[in-house]
Structure 1
Amino acid sequence: MTISAEELLPGTRRALLHRIAVAQAEGRAPSLVAAVVRHGRTVWHGARTSVDGHGPDENTQYRIGSITKTFTAVLVLRLCEEGLLGLGDLLEKHLPGTGAGEATVADLLAHTGGLAAESPAPWWERTPGALRPELGDVLGEQPLLHPAGRRFHYSNPGYTLLGALVEELRGAAWEDVLRREVLEPLGLNRTSIRPQAPHAGGWAVHPWADVLLPEPAEHLGRMAPAGQLWSTTRDLARFAVFLTHGDDRVLSAESVREMRTPAAPAEAEDVAAGSAYGLGMQIQYRDGRLFVGHGGSLPGFLAGLSISVEDDAAAVVLANCTSGPLVSTVASDLVRIVAEAEPRIPEPWRPLKGVDPSVLELAGHWYWGTHGFALRLTADGFAVLEPLSGDGRRSRFRPNGDGTWTGLEGYYAGELLRCVRRPDGSVDHLDLGSFVFTRRPYDEGASVPGGVDPDGWRGIG
């Protein structure tokens, strides 16, 4: 039997089904649906339900709670790409008079704006949004609990402000902008503000008895940008592909990459748990693998979206219960099952297409003082600087077209790498953010700051 490169092996499919079956049974979820994405397409869908003959499929809507925040973040990053605002802009510049204007746009995206986690009573998830018609009703009399920019403190009202910011700069309702600028271009036709049949009903499961209680499904009003959306595994699978690769019709790959980059200072427990937060995306390091995405919950519903960019794989898990299965953990487990059972096959190695001799001569060994490094040129035209042994500062560098490179990650992210040449054109050293890298340790023939002892290297005695 021949199996295509995109089709999962039978053993992998059974392992995925087993994982969601355990989650639904042990988590006592009325229903649970899941999907797995690999290499840009959905390769598996599974469902478990407590009602025979009524299994939900990939087009059945569930409420996705705070995954809505990632959609709102995409809208804000679009405004940044268009130059209508900057991540460092104070909220007050674009939306004055909120009482939370000390926070920047980036602060709100990363939950470092210092705002409260929830809106004032009554409990916003179980009451009509009409009870909070104005921003002041969402924020309360004292919206700030912490200094802006100092610590991570998850805030639902913060995303209400971001939704209001979108409305202010677009001159249209948040839901209309979302539909026009994200949902329609990405073909997310089953993602909506209000439920559309077929959709699951939300349930509470008694913690000490196998009985159910229906949960209300309130429209959140002003709080909608923090958690209103309904969606399906099919649509969220497509959204996961977008969050992995970007789509120039909506948001560039570079901006999506910035969303996935940690942007909030981590608390001690976050460091211990291997978790962080980017710009509208949660980041977690589990079992040796980096996951990005978001979880969501509202009364009656749980949702999880988990992506491993390195494996080019993602999973979505949705359930219709208030508590029970840890759907975000299940989602990352589904990714891990596929990645371990069927590892990603790397692209074939290909040589560079043409190379500038003046660039090629920079490849090889370099020394920062006595620390050995290697500079390697890759087929994508980038340069990689990495330590010869042990831990150390490693980064890729993007060519700028003028003989310099810009660091892309780690300690050297954003730093400029340039080659300094002697009057005769020969290479003297590399300058990386003022650090000097020479061909030999403290090369006496190079311009080393502080000079090199003329007596050279020596032994003791």
Structure 2
Amino acid sequence: MTTPEEELLPATRRALLHRVAVGQAEGRAPSMVAAVVRGGRTVWTGTRTCLEGHAPDENTQYRVGSITKTFTAVLVLRLRDEGVLDLGDPLEKHLPGTGAGEATIAELLAHRGGLAAETPSPWWERTPGTLRPELADALGEQPHRHPVGRRFHYSNIGYALLGALVEELRGAPWEDVLRREVLEPLGLRRTSCEPMVPHAGGWAVHPWADVMLPEPTEHFGRMAPAGQLWSTTEDLARFAAFLATGDDRVLSEESLHEMRTPAAPAEVADVAAGAAYGLGMQLQQHEGRFLVGHSGSVPGFLAGLTISVEDDVAAVVLVNCTSGPGAWSVAADLVRIVAEAEPRIPEPWRPLPDVDRSVLELAGQWYWGTHAFALRLVTGGGLSLDPLSGGGEDLGARFRVNGDGTWTGLNGYFAGESLRAVRRPDGSVDHLDLGSFVFTRQPYDEGASVPGGVDPEGWRGIS
């Protein structure tokens, strides 16, 4: 249930319905269901169907295809956070004998393992998984298409390997681990590997005639971790809220932020399109908005889960046809409609709690050479460093407090670098050291320890 404060305005709701109606009509889809999430809650649902009187709703299951990969990635990150594995570990360390074990776990998550996109023939999405009973059957005799780690190449096989990794380290089937560690804690009761009534049927719509053909529904077997799941807009709305803010029962917000961070080098065309890939999540710049999530496509179904963390808006779109409406693009438009019509209302400004005076004295203007920066205190004992003038724009960063008088960079050029205040014998601050960069209170402050020293004649004009 939504409160009056959370409800969308009538004009916004109509704009959302219009976008879904256009998507279903122009995409020639048998049905389309959608949901919008704001503030961690579903604030709108919509549906359009070609069958009058039989509209699906937020509890109707659709197959979600590659959105399954994000669920699998969450399981892998859980193993990392528990210390069972490191993302830099080669797969061979934990799952030996695959023939593809040179790739690291991070490379497989980011589709950088150099593996083929698909299994050897026949087409795995339209044939029983029993045709590929072992991983070797999915990998084939020559699983690699590129050198490991060299480039992004989307690979369904890579996620089959990650699912097998989860099974090996948990000692249980991937499906059981997923249910126990993700679905049940998040309350995703209508997300499953096999369809549950009510569910939509999958259809192929003829590209040149308004006629349809039913698509087969197969269990993918070893390929299940790449695209098996069925779900609903209600469940995926909950999952989207989790992906935005985290849930310590499943995965922390910090680890989810890592999943949403670009991890794969993009191709030239991807750069032009503003697209990238994180750890199990697709990333895209869309009309000036940074969106994360995942699309899904299997014969008979299309799906899109899209989140704008900054706007605190997410959308889910599910369709039961093989091609036609772009579920991701429709979901992206739903996010845009809400974000533009009803911008996020910021939290009230509140002063920080008690602040260490030795930290407070660091706030203010600093110079790296002649580049001016402002250092500010932020909530939680952290710091932010922002350029004040031209040049150095790529050096802005946020820092987390370490508790030992230092801070660690969280983003940009200084991600992972250490910031500390270097003090003189009398306790006053001489300079800030940031990854060997020296920041002083004045440009090339002659009273500070500037590397290379400062010309004793000081600043001057042309004589």
Q: Which residue of 1 aligns with 2:14?
A: 14
Cα distance in 1 between the residues matched to 2:81 and 2:454: 48
Q: Summarize the alignment of residues 128-277 of structure 1 with structure 2, pairs less than 5 Å apart.
A: 128-277=128-277
Q: Which residue of 2 aligns with 1:429?
A: 431
* 2:64 and 2:231 in contact (8 A); partners too: yes
* 2:315 and 2:331 in contact (8 A); partners too: yes
- What is the one-letter code of the residue matched to 1:223? M
TM-superposition CA deviations, 1:214-252 (whole Å, max 9, x none) = 000111010000000000000000000110011111111
Cα distance in 2 between the residues matched to 1:198 and 1:106: 37
Cα distance in 1 between the residues matched to 2:364 and 2:248: 37
- What is the one-letter code of the residue matched to 2:133? P
Cα distance in 1 between the residues matched to 2:460 and 2:87: 53
| 1:82 aligned onto 2:82 | yes
- What is the one-letter code of the residue matched to 2:260? R
Count of matched residue positions in the alignment of Structure 1 and Structure 2: 459
Secondary structure of 1:450's partner? coil
- What is the one-letter code of the residue matched to 1:70? T
- What is the one-letter code of the residue matched to 2:195? P
Cα distance in 2 between the residues matched to 1:392 and 1:244: 25
Q: Which residue of 2 aligns with 1:393?
A: 395
- What is the one-letter code of the residue matched to 2:37? V
Deviation at 1:301, TM superposition (A): 0.2
TM-superposition CA deviations, 1:321-365 (whole Å, max 9, x none) = 000001100001101100100000000111111111111111111
Deviation at 1:85, TM superposition (A): 0.5
Q: List alignment gaps of at least 5 residues for structure 1.
A: none
Deviation at 1:33, TM superposition (A): 0.1
Q: Which moved more, 1:385-394 or 1:126-135?
A: 385-394
TM-superposition CA deviations, 1:81-106 (whole Å, max 9, x none) = 11111100000001111111110000
- What is the one-letter code of the residue matched to 2:435? G
Q: Summarize the alignment of residues 46-125 of structure 1 with structure 2, pairs less than 5 Å apart.
A: 46-125=46-125
* 1:206 and 1:212 in contact (8 A); partners too: yes
The correspondence for 1:451, drawn from 450, 453, 461, is 453
Q: Which residue of 2 aligns with 1:290?
A: 290
* 1:382 and 1:398 in contact (8 A); partners too: yes
- What is the one-letter code of the residue matched to 1:219? H
Q: Which residue of 1 aligns with 2:329?
A: 329
Query: Which TM-score applies when normalising by structure 1?
Result: 0.99
* 2:431 and 2:439 in contact (8 A); partners too: yes
Secondary structure of 1:296's partner? strand
Cα distance in 2 between the residues matched to 1:223 and 1:444: 64
Q: Percent identity?
A: 80
* 1:352 and 1:381 in contact (8 A); partners too: no
Secondary structure of 2:334's partner? helix
Deviation at 1:402, TM superposition (A): 1.2
Deviation at 1:5, TM superposition (A): 1.7
Secondary structure of 2:45's partner? strand
Cα distance in 2 between the residues matched to 1:380 and 1:210: 58
- What is the one-letter code of the residue matched to 2:86? G
Q: Summarize the alignment of residues 404-415 of structure 1 with structure 2, pairs less than 5 Å apart.
A: 404-415=406-417
Q: Which residue of 2 aligns with 1:339?
A: 339
* 1:262 and 1:278 in contact (8 A); partners too: yes
- What is the one-letter code of the residue matched to 1:289? R
Query: Which TM-score applies when normalising by structure 2?
Result: 0.98
Deviation at 1:289, TM superposition (A): 0.4
* 1:350 and 1:379 in contact (8 A); partners too: no
Cα distance in 2 between the residues matched to 1:436 and 1:351: 30
TM-superposition CA deviations, 1:267-289 (whole Å, max 9, x none) = 11111000100000000001110
Q: Which residue of 2 aligns with 1:27?
A: 27
Q: List alignment gaps of at least 5 residues for structure 2.
A: none
- What is the one-letter code of the residue matched to 1:344? R
Secondary structure of 2:265's partner? coil
- What is the one-letter code of the residue matched to 1:138? A
- What is the one-letter code of the residue matched to 1:429? H
Cα distance in 1 between the residues matched to 2:20 and 2:405: 53
Cα distance in 2 between the residues matched to 1:384 and 1:368: 15
